Structure 1
Amino acid sequence: MAESRLIQGRYRLLELIGRGGMGEVWRAHDESLGRRVAVKCLKPMGAQHDQSFTRVLRERFRREARVAAALQHRGVTVVHDFGEYEGVLYLVMELLEGRNLSQLLEENKQHPLPVADVVDIAEQVADALAYTHEQGIVHRDLKPANIMRLTDGAVKICDFGIARLAADIGFTSKLTGTGIAMGTPHYMSPEQISGDHVDHRSDLYSLGCVLYEIATGVPPFDHDDAWAVLVGHRDTVPEPPRTLRAEIPEFFQRIVLDLLAKTPEDRPADAKDLRRRMGAAHQGRAHTVLPGPRPEQPPSREPRLPSWTRGMTTGQKATGTSIARPALPDHTAGLTSEWTTNTDPRGGPLVPAQSRPERPTPPPELLAVLTSRHNAGLSLGRLGRWEEAGEVHRAVAVEREHVLGPDHPDTLASRYEVGFTLSRTGRAADALREFGKVVDGRERTMGADHPETLAARQEMAYVLGQLGRHFEAHQVYASVLDSRERTMGHEHPDTLRCRHNLAFNLSRLGRLEDSYQMAYEVAAARARVLGAGHPDTLVTRYEVAYALGQLGRWMEALQTYREVAVARAQALGADHPDTLAARYEVGISLGRLGRSAEALELYRDLVDDRTRVHGPADPETLRARHGLGVNLGRLARWEEALVESRDVCALRERVLGSEHPDTLISRREVAVGLGWLGRWADALAVYGQVAQARERVLGSDHPDALASRNDEAHCLEQLGRHAEAVELYRRVAALRQQRGAQGR
């Protein structure tokens, strides 16, 4: 793009004025109409490596560019044209001369803007939002970087459509480990945080956050901890702006606090209503505002949040605070704002120059492109699009190794993510090899006890568990735990995470009492360090409940699962996958206690919620339907149970494949229903299909395959074919004995 300097024979690129995660912004000249314009060029992802990602990007770009081009208002950046040239998507916009609100705050050393300017900005943005909302367009990512103050005093909202594009294709960040969708944490509405329906009133809340910050110098919830920020938006009443800056007019404080109402219904009805209120207040107040004392430093406040909100991943706000892991650039910055990149997205220490092999210094532009693509891969992973994420990370790893070397931290970071995506797509053996390379490289360059090295070794242990090599996994976990306790302490969050994984692995080794005891201790420690309602604490309490169930202590397991489900609903939301998972386990416990009628009602509700949130064919929806069918059978409603099992089996076969373990479990449940209905010949045929598939996938001596052959033998008995049944029982017993001898 830069070499040709001319796009479509019309737009001549003159000067690069911004660069960031989604591409570049150029000052350009429209030679057809003889006017200055800004051209935003989206960076190509490389078709040879990222075809699916590029295809999604192109489709979303065209759709959202049309949306943006349809907006015509003095308060919205005008989009003149869009298209694709030599594989690069571009957007032609009016050239804005001025600074965005984030830059104005930074230039003012984070002191608030003059009150008169704040009120003027509020009125102009309200006018623009009133127009866009009438068109049915919600911005979804309103923040200081997306609001421009031009040199003539006019205010414009930038990146309508581009902000939506970023969210659609997965650039928008998520809180690590929680699944909570994030735009920019300091400006998100409570309904965005909870994953609820978002309408125009979400933009009003974000506007309230912006106005609060430019009026006081700090966001309404000013924490360096993303989880604390999100909980603040959802649960905490913001401190009145006048307590931070006395010169703010009372009417303006009231408007800002109304915009920051937790529920959309309590905010102004729409931007028109907001504008009317501001106009009425103008008429009823004095025309001059007496300035108060100018604070030397931004005001500081003690967070009024639960203790468990501290110590989480940091967020981003107008001051440029970076995210610790992973750091995503501001992909939706205004046209004339400064776009930033981070060549070390993990924030880890770089290898000292003297320890690296001599190689040509790669151009900064290339490093920025690779960082952007690495971050895009991380975002795809957060959306659960692991196959696409893996393609991106593999391509970036190859290029980073070429320009930086195999042991450079950035190369190893990409290889780590390759391993992670492999483990999440069922390729555990490949993941193990990849993590092994990362461990070797990090030990050479960082040392055996470096947190990044230990993180890779811990993932190796996890993958060993996926492969059923639980004894080896136990050895690795124990070694990592020893290093973490020695270097970080017994109750450091990373140490507790390792102890949690070790407890999980102990249960897979059959050491149920040890697993329960360790999980119980870790849950108590996490409650002390993070708080009783912290998601990590609840994960370990979930493991405690699992261990109780394995020990046959189902009443205690039921109580613990219920407590976890309630706490997760409060902390994460009723529709969060972890909340729904805990409710599923409540159903399992009820079934184990013989309370199948209660379990049946629970599963009916869970199926409805899973279908609403994830869709009817989602694997977790089908898992809940499977539980429903099982409990229908326990209530001797076998005709209904058989219909449900067949339906779930057909859906699982289509979604997961004919030999996926869940599909085979459903097929076995079909056979169970046929048997209870006395249709033993039909049941025998289905049991045989399950046994053959499990032998192909797992091996003839795998416990699941042997259980299926036992099912067959039982059918043969019911059909009076006793000699065949006895022979099959003997064969199963011999295979079990052989497997036991090999295990010793």
Structure 2
Amino acid sequence: MAENRLIRGRYRLLDIIGRGGMGEVWRARDESLGRQVAVKCLKPMGQRQEPGFLRVLRERFRREARVAAALQHRGITVVHDFGEDDGILFIVMELLSGRNLSQLLDDNRRQPLPVPDVIEIAEQVTAALAYTHEQAIVHRDLKPANIVRTTDGTVKICDFGIARLGHDIGFTARLTGTGVAMGSPHYMSPEQIGAGTVDHRSDLYSLGCVLYEIATGAPPFAQGDAWAVLVGHRDTAPEPPRRVRPDLPEVYERIVLDLLAKEPDDRPRDADELGKRLADARHPRAVRGAGGGPGDLTVPTPRLPSWTQGITVGSPAAGARRRRRTASDRAAAVLTDAWTIGGDPQRGESSPAVGLVRPATSEGHHATLAALADRLATARQLAGLGRHFEAHQLFTEVLAGRERTLGPDHPDTLGCRHHLAVGLGRLGRLEDSRATAREVAAARARVLGAHHPDTLASRFQLASVLGQLGAWPEALCAYREVAAARAESLGPDHPDTLAARYEVGICLGRLGRSAEALTHYRELVAARTRAQGPDDPETLRARHGLGVNYGRQNRWEEALTEARQVTAARARVLGADHPDTLASRRETAVALGRLGRWGDALEVYRQVADARERVLGPAHLDALASRGDQAQCLEQLGRTDEAAALYRRVAVLRQERAQRRR
């Protein structure tokens, strides 16, 4: 897209406000009406750009845009127009002036908002949801970044229809290592996590998460690891907010906790009922703070599963703390969600949510570098939370700034390009990731030296992408070179050296060279045990690889022994339901089956399937695969009727899953 381009002969693009996973956002002038508007230009991307997919996408875009344009409520961002111009899908929306809730918390140094503000926001958002739910429309991605308080105090929900459209275009974020399709993990309802039926009560749960965060300063489940956050939503009662915010009236604590009920039936019936409860809470006898005495509300707070222990606690989804902004700072025009990146880069401020990125001004070289460093830190936090699209946009901006300020070959510039390569891989853009990683590795070798740790990190990333692309011979060669270089410069037992050696074993197995892999894993297990101890998760990971390759050599008794020992150790260290523990338990079942002990194998397959279904939900792909293993085992035992019934159940769940994703 270019400045001054005229969209459909009417909307003059003036300046870019931001970029996001789904395209670009422009400030534009409506030439017909003489007003300024926001134009969101969507760019379909991904693997599925065949004509049939694009036809379906355009139809879904029109349907979702019509739905959004039909919504007429003061609490919902107005959609003025939509259409297609030279292959670009676009939506024209009102240009808001104000701050979204993520930015308000950032302005307040991540401290809770004043109680009157929390109450006012709760009432206005509830009224908007009541209206949209009456139209049988569910937002599905309600979060602080999608709720804006304008300069006149009006609270507006943004991006109705866009969240679902994002999935169609191919921009569904995924939880690292699990394959759970997700939107924003800190605000997802349990039924979204478990691939259950999502209705208006899911929006109420997300609203509960939002209110909890603005009332306490953090989401109800604020672990830095996305998996632990999702487990918290599914399995753990939130800490009552008055424990960290005693001045919050008890009646509002009750409302928030009811919204956060795990079962949809235990939440308020609908937004109308919630609105009535909020109105009742306005009564002076109800709205009492800590001076009114503690309430009698008792909420159990069981701990997360044992395998979440030791997870590093990161920042909440809204971002890191920043200084309070002045009134003039807050007058920025805002849009929504990942479309724009908030903050003033010259002040060192950044937000993973919304806001106008002001044009750069000359405030000094050091101020610029400090601003870029702050934005890079935010991008890394976003990546750690699995919010890869938003992180990618920040990395791109920081890279451009560092290239201008420091030059293309400065180590800090190359460090940002390295992060960009990693992010491209996480977004599934593997060819782009490979090209970028190769360029960065070559530049770092030229600037820093071939054996510099940063150079080796980029070569490691290149090897990783080669493996993901199926280029296993090249990946094996690259990993071996990195392992040798790290052993020489860092030492043979350094964690980075051992990490590269582990990947060498993976490559050997993928290439069918299991005899070499077996020897390699034996040596790696010894090194890991020497360096980190026998119960370290990485030692157990190497032992798991050893057991797998025993099986590939048809040494099933040894494979069974190893799988059982690793399962027991992982259960003790990580927890019985940790994904790694279940992976080793499944290897136990595989070995039992190969040894003809199908009855024993059936019981272990059933245990794995039950655990995955309990943790992930019955329609999760891993749970369905485990039920398939169980059915195959039943067939081996001649229990064909039971196997057929289980296959039918799996087929129904897969069909329901597919329908929900359409």
Q: Distance in 2 between matches of 1:191 and 1:6?
A: 43
**Aligned counterparts, 1:153-552, within 5 A:** 153-282=153-282, 284-286=283-285, 304-311=303-310, 317-320=316-319, 331=338, 335-336=354-355, 342=379, 360-361=408-409, 375=423, 378-379=426-427, 389=428, 392-399=429-436, 401-402=438-439, 405=442, 412=459, 415-416=462-463, 418-423=465-470, 430-437=471-478, 439-440=480-481, 444=485, 455=499, 457-552=501-596
Worse-matched range after superposition: 312-321 or 126-135: 312-321
What is the aligned-residue identity percentage? Answer: 54
Distance 2:316 2:137 in 1: 24
CA deviation string 1:318-364 (max 9, x = no partner): 44279xxxxxx9736665277988489977xx9xxxxxxx98359x9
Q: Secondary structure at the match of 2:596?
A: coil
* Matched residue type, 1:147: I
3-state SS, counterpart of residue 92 of structure 2: strand
CA RMSD of aligned residues (A): 4.1
Cα distance change on mapping 1:574 and 1:45 into 2, 3 Å: closer
CA shift digits 1:346-392 (9 cap, x unpaired): 77xx9xxxxxxx98359x9999999789757635xxxxxxxxx4xx3
Structure 1 residue 585, shift from structure 2 partner:
3.5
Q: Which one-letter code corresponds to 2:570 in the other structure?
A: R
- Worse overlay, 264-273 or 220-229: 220-229
Q: Deviations over 1:667-699 (max 9, x none)?
A: xxxxxxxxxxxxxxxxxxxxxxxxxxxxxxxxx
Q: 2:222, 2:314 within 8 Å by CA — same for their partners in 1? A: no
Kindly provide the amino acid, as one letter, of the partner of residue 516 in structure 1.
L
Task: From the superposition, tell whether residues 414 and 315 of structure 1 become closer, same or farther in structure 2 (CA, over 3 Å).
Answer: same
CA distance in structure 2 between the aligned counterparts of 1:246 and 1:398, rounded to whole angstroms: 53
Q: Is contact 2:417–2:436 with CA below 8 Å preserved after alignment? A: no
1:314–1:542: structure 2 CA closer, same or farther, 3 Å change rule?
A: farther
Q: Is the partner of 2:75 in helix, strand or coil?
A: coil
Deviation at 1:550, TM superposition (A): 2.5
Please list the CA deviations of residues 159-185 of structure 1 after superposition, one character each: whole Å capped at 9, or x if unmatched.
222222233344333233333232211
Query: By how many angstroms is 1:254 displaced?
Result: 1.9
Taking the aligned partners of 2:50 and 2:312, their CA distance within structure 1 comes to: 30
Tell me how far apart the structure 2 counterparts of residues 466 and 459 of structure 1 sit (CA, whole Å).
Answer: 11
Q: Give me the whole-angstrom Cα distance separating, in 1, the residues matched to 2:93 and 2:416.
A: 24
The number of residues matched between the two structures is 572
Checking the alignment, whether the CA contact within 8 Å between 2:635 and 2:643 is kept in structure 1 is: no
What corresponds to 2:603 in structure 1? Answer: 559
| Structure 1 residues 608 and 163: alpha-carbon distance in aligned structure 2, compared to 1, 3 A threshold | same
Once residues 257 and 179 of structure 2 are traced to their aligned partners in structure 1, the CA distance between those partners, rounded to angstroms, is 28
Q: Return closer, same or farther for 1:359/1:212 CA change in 2, 3 Å cut-off.
A: closer
Q: Is the 8 A contact 1:149 1:155 kept in 2?
A: yes
Residues 217-226 or 95-104, more deviating: 217-226
Counterparts in 2 of 1:360 and 1:115: CA distance versus 1, 3 Å: closer
Report the residue type matching 2:316 in the other structure: K
- Further displaced range: 2-11 or 205-214: 2-11
Q: CA separation in 2, counterparts of 1:255 and 1:330?
A: 26
Residues 389-414 of structure 1 show CA distances to partners (whole Å, capped at 9, x for unaligned) of: 4xx31134225545774766786576
Aligned-partner Cα distance in 2 for 1:234–1:181: 15
Q: Deviations over 1:497-524 (max 9, x none)?
A: 2211211111111222221222122112
Provide the C-alpha distance between the structure 2 equivalents of 1:591 and 1:399, rounded to a whole number of angstroms.
Answer: 48
Distance in 2 between residues matched to 1:50 and 1:483, nearest whole Å: 44
Cα pair 2:476 2:508 within 8 Å, conserved: no
Query: CA 1:616–1:141 in structure 2 vs 1: closer, same or farther (change >3 Å)?
Result: closer
In structure 2, how many angstroms separate the alpha carbons of the residues matched to 1:370 and 1:438? 17
Q: 57-66 or 545-554, which moves further after superposition? A: 57-66
Q: Which amino acid is 1:214 matched to? A: I
Q: Sort the Cα spacing of 1:237 and 1:555 in 2 relative to 1 into closer, same or farther, 3 A.
A: same
SS in 2 for 1:331: helix
Q: Is the 8 Å Cα contact of residues 194 and 616 (structure 2) preserved in structure 1?
A: yes
Q: Find the structure with the greater CA-based Rg.
A: 1
Query: Counterpart of 1:40?
Result: 40
Deviations 1:461-485 (A, max 9, x none): 3343344321122233334444544
| CA distance, structure 1, for counterparts of residue 159 and residue 419 of structure 2 | 22
Amino acid aligned to 1:500? H
Indicate how the Cα distance of structure 1 residues 120 and 156 shifts in structure 2: closer, same or farther if over 3 A, else same: same
Letter in 2 for 1:492: D
In the alignment, residue 309 of structure 2 is paired with which amino acid? Answer: R
Aligned to 2:18: 18
The verdict on how the C-alpha distance between 1:576 and 1:453 changes in structure 2, with shifts beyond 3 A counting, is farther
CA contact (8 A) 1:166 1:172 kept: yes
Letter of the aligned partner of 1:436 in structure 2? Answer: C
Q: Which residue of 1 aligns with 2:141?
A: 141
Is the 1:523–1:541 Cα contact (8 Å) retained in structure 2? yes
Listed one character per residue, the Cα deviations across residues 85-118 of structure 1 (whole Å, up to 9, x for unaligned) are 4554433211111111111111111211111111
2 CA distance for matches of 1:178 and 1:184? 15
Asked whether the equivalents of residues 500 and 540 of structure 1 are also in contact (C-alpha less than 8 Å), the reply is yes
Alignment of 1:55-70 (within 5 A): 55=54, 61-70=61-70
Normalised by the length of structure 1, the TM-score is 0.68
Cα offset, 1:459, TM superposition:
4.3
2:329 equivalent in structure 1: none
Which residue is equivalent to 2:362? none
Give the AA of the match of 2:466.
Answer: G
Deviation per CA, 1:94-151, whole angstroms, max 9, x where unpaired?
Answer: 1111111111111111211111111111111111111222222211111111111111
Q: Which amino acid aligns with 2:279?
A: G
Opposite residue 250 of structure 2, the aligned amino acid is E
Partner SS, residue 97 of structure 1 = strand
Aligned 8 A contact 1:222 1:229 in 2: yes
Separation in 2, partners of 1:359, 1:229: 39
Question: Which consecutive unaligned segments of at least 5 residues does structure 2 have?
Answer: 293-299, 322-335, 341-352, 358-374, 385-394, 396-405, 445-454
Gaps of 5+ in 1: 294-300, 323-328, 351-357, 380-388, 424-429, 619-744
Asked if the contact 2:441–2:459 (Cα under 8 Å) also holds between the matched residues in 1, the reply is: no
Q: Displacement of 1:52 after TM fit?
A: 4.8
